[in-house]
Structure 1
Amino acid sequence: MPINKFVAAPADLTKVDVCLRSDMSYWTRVLGVSEVELRKAVMTVGAASWDVRAEIRRRRRK
């Protein structure tokens, strides 16, 4: 019987904090990307979650 993991949402949904393990788990699951891809997006556009989402969508279209 598989065990479902519950990943709580970060306290601040407007920012992607790559320093917090719990935030990384949440955002990688929600956005469907690896940690490396998430870190690259944050380095490119900053920590604002809307900007990170847009950057990931932009990268997927290429």
Structure 2
Amino acid sequence: MTEYEDEYGFFMQVFDGDDVMTYPNEHSGKYPQKIPSPKQWGLMISPDHSISSEHFNQN
């Protein structure tokens, strides 16, 4: 059974040579391999519950 949620946390990190860019910006680029706690991630909202949780739980 596929479950649908209305809120998803996300963290994005982009490397461009020696530059590390992250969203949310609070993350320090000093240790780019260290991903912050999900509590510090951005929030994406799907008010109509149209995003399946399967898309975020792929291993």
Instruction: Report which of the two structures shows the higher radius of gyration computed on alpha carbons.
Output: 2
Per the normalisation by structure 1, the TM-score is 0.23
TM-score scaled by structure 2? 0.24
Higher RCO structure (Cα 8 Å, ≥6 apart): 2
- Of Structure 1 and Structure 2, which has the larger fraction of its residues in strand? 2
